[in-house]
Amino acid sequence: MNSECASTQSPIWVCPFCQHDLIFNAAEKAWLCDNRHAFDCAKEGYVNLLPSNKKSSSDPGDSAEMIAARRNIHAAEIFAPLADAVLAEIAVAGDPARILDLGCGEGYYAGAMQRAFTEAKVCGVDISKPAIRLAAKHYADIEFAVASSFALPVAPASQDVVVRIFAPSQDSEIIRVLKPGGIYLEVTPAPRHLWVLREALYDVPREHENSRDKFPYLQSAKSASCEFDVDLSQGMLRELLAMTPFAHRGHREKRERLQNDGGRKVGMAFSLRVFQKPDMT
């Protein structure tokens, strides 16, 4: 639906200036609030709701190069077992009407959610314009906005499910936008995620921190892990490095050796935590 930015019954976005509902105006091809703040619908179908004075840099978020690499990795379905695990966790919420993907990147997981929960309105936000442009081009049934997860252009208590997969966000915003009884799924790398790459890149590789098992105000509902090995060709290994902070970190010579050393088997390991907003009604 987003390729034409059609309007929907219940508003999707709120105005980043006055927090009033945004309604799509087909004649103006723009989202408007009742204070006449207007946000153009880009030709790919997304809307930019990031006020320029809220940008930390001229091009915040992941670069076009990182996004292109991530798209290639996702097109090869390297992360399919994780997508399946994410869908399984969301399924415990029943049949969600609204799902919001925070820091959605080029939309791989939002796409999987839309295919699995066909009745749901799936929306994604990312602060990176190249990411959202690619996401909107690729997944026409999903609403995407350039926005910060630290100030979501989303109405309070409007989401059944909020998902965050390796992306920054602000706890108070997640609590604010969740419906009472809604669930929040946080996916983070497990301590030994991509360990062989860490060993190859660093003299002293460090483990990721353990995921948190508590979330302010929300109730801990469930935790799960997802681990699998992938045989990466040299080309895919390069793409994986390019979509991660490894692209610039680690020992330069070690990184070049890793990039040119042929493919290898890489262990992926993730933690999935589900939290639920208390329903006081």
Residue 15 in the binding site for Zn ion (CB under 5 A): yes
Does residue number 108 form part of the binding site for ligand SAM (CB under 6 A)?
Answer: yes
Residue 126 or 239 having the CB closest to ligand SAM: 126
Span near ligand SAM by CB under 6 A; candidates 162-170, 194-202, 203-211, 272-280: 162-170
Smallest distance from the beta carbon of 130 to ligand SAM, in angstroms?
Answer: 9
**Partner in contact with 105, chosen from ligand SAM, Zn ion, none, beta carbon below 5 to 8 Å by kind:** ligand SAM
Residue selected from 46, 47, 70, 268 as contacting ligand SAM according to rule CB under 6 A: 70
49 is a contact residue toward Zn ion (CB under 5 A): no
Tell whether residue 72 is a contact of ligand SAM (CB under 6 A).
no
SS (H, E, C) 236-262: HHHHHHHCCHHHCCCCHHHHHHHHHCC
With the C-alpha atoms ordered 37, 42, 47, 52, is the resulting torsion angle positive or negative?
Answer: negative
To ligand SAM, the closest distance from the beta carbon of 110 in angstroms equals 9
Binding partner at 103 among Zn ion, ligand SAM, none, C-beta below 5 to 8 Å by kind:
ligand SAM
Distance CA 183, CA 93 (A): 7
Nearest approach, Cβ of 146 to ligand SAM (angstroms)? 9
Q: Where do contacts with ligand SAM occur on this chain (CB under 6 A)?
A: 61-62, 70, 103-105, 108, 125-128, 131, 148-150, 165-168
